Amino acid sequence: MTDTLTEPAARHVVTNPAILYFGTPVVLVSTRNADGTANLAPFSSAFWLGDRAVLGVSHGSQTYANLRRTGQAVIALPSSDQADVVNRLALTTGHPTPAAYKLARGYAQVADKFGRAGLTAVPAQVVDVPLPAETPIALEAEVVAFHSEPGSDGAPVTELRVVRVHAHPELLLPGRPNRIDPDRWRPLIMSFQQLYGLTPRVAPSRLAAIDEEAYRR
């Protein structure tokens, strides 16, 4: 009976998408290879909790191998006008022996990812990992925890502590050296497998009545 009563108001259909990528920023994770060269790879499973970056990095990637070995990374955020950079890195791996499923999907092994991306590697300050000069934001980070092991059923979640934030100065609020202006920062967003930018601010946020400094740990 209840079903009959509520049915006319139903607005959804049941669907079963293969992926649930509703929109997250694209990051470029820079790591150090065992031979001392650098790797750089795009990931969009990324969100933030306080000073932590939480990334979904597949266990078969070169990035994961490097994170396991060194515990260090630079998480660079391209802007929405740098989609071409991300597309140049798409379908590449720095892994010396790419997994068969990646080769079947058209991935190619590329040793010089910074060169491939057209980005300039500059030294970071805290971690021994190069940082791309051209991305507006670059976060130096150290691994805190791997939340699942290869071969387990858990999602490949890596938690990192951000230890230094680099920003192009034009992103900062005038007179506020520790505030990124969200009206100036234009992240590149991946929704499902496509790339987007953000629209301008759609409404004033009630949450923003809280001073951002109140969140500092």
With binding defined as CB under 6 A, does residue 103 bind ligand FMN? Answer: no
Size of the site for ligand FMN (CB under 6 A): 20
- 3-state SS assignment for residue 51: coil
- The residue behind tokens 């953000």 is 198
| Closer residue to ligand FMN, CB minimum distance, 50 or 192 | 192
Binding of residue 57 to ligand FMN (CB under 6 A): yes
Q: If we measure between CA atoms, which residue out of 65, 68, 57, 69 comes closest to residue 28?
A: 57
Q: Considering the complex, what minimum distance in angstroms separates the CB of residue 113 from ligand FMN?
A: 7
58 counts as binding ligand FMN under rule CB under 6 A: yes
Q: Does 182 bind ligand FMN (CB under 6 A)?
A: no
- Binding marks (x or -) toward ligand FMN, 27..56, rule CB under 6 A? ------------x-xxxxx----------x
From the list 144, 124, 146, 150, the residue with the least C-alpha distance to 135 is 124
Contacts of 35 (CB under 8 A, 6+ apart): none
By CB under 6 A, tell whether 76 contacts ligand FMN. no
Q: Which residue in the set 62, 79, 82, 158 belongs to the binding site for ligand FMN (CB under 6 A)?
A: 62
Nearer to ligand FMN by Cβ, of 50 and 96: the residue is: 96
Q: Is 74 in the site for ligand FMN (CB under 6 A)?
A: no
Q: Which of 30, 33, 61, 72 binds ligand FMN (CB under 6 A)?
A: 61
Query: CA 162 to CA 168: how far, in whole Å?
Result: 17
Q: Tokens 């990646």 map to which residue?
A: 102
Residue where the block lists tokens 């150290």:
142
The answer to whether 23 touches 193, Cβ cutoff 8 Å, is: no
N-terminal to C-terminal alpha carbon distance within the chain: 53
Enumerate binding residues for ligand FMN (CB under 6 A): 26, 39, 41-45, 56-58, 61-63, 86, 90, 93-95, 107, 190
